[in-house]
Amino acid sequence: MEAEIGLPPDAEPGMTSKPEYDPQQRTLRQREAAKAQELTAAVMKTSGVTAQRMRQRYRTGGLRALVDGRSQRATSPVGRSDAEVVARGP
């Protein structure tokens, strides 16, 4: 949200944007680049393109859209084994 509107989601009323996220002074791409630098310094190496993708996913799907989808996939009790091998048994 900070790259999108200039303020973090927990912003209190009357709070102003950090200069690097100020929509009046920075383009959206500049704000995304600033977010990428912030994430790289704090948590994980991130590019401007990744920050852009994350912002777009957040815009369309909210926080849930940012969760790694691999953890939400259904799993098979036999894993990635071929069904024919499993049917034959041990």
Q: What share of the chain is helix, strand, coil (3-state, %, to 5)?
A: 55, 0, 45
The average pLDDT across 58-71 equals: 81
The pLDDT of residue 44 is 84
Calpha distance 20→48 (Å, rounded): 14
Calpha distance 38→46 (Å, rounded): 9
Average pLDDT value for the chain: 85
By C-alpha distance, which of 47, 62, 46, 42 is closest to 1?
62
Assess whether pLDDT exceeds 90 at residue 77: no
The pLDDT of residue 9 is 82
Exposure of 20 by Cβ count < 10 A (0-12 exposed, 13-18 middle, 19+ buried)?
middle
The pLDDT of residue 22 is 92
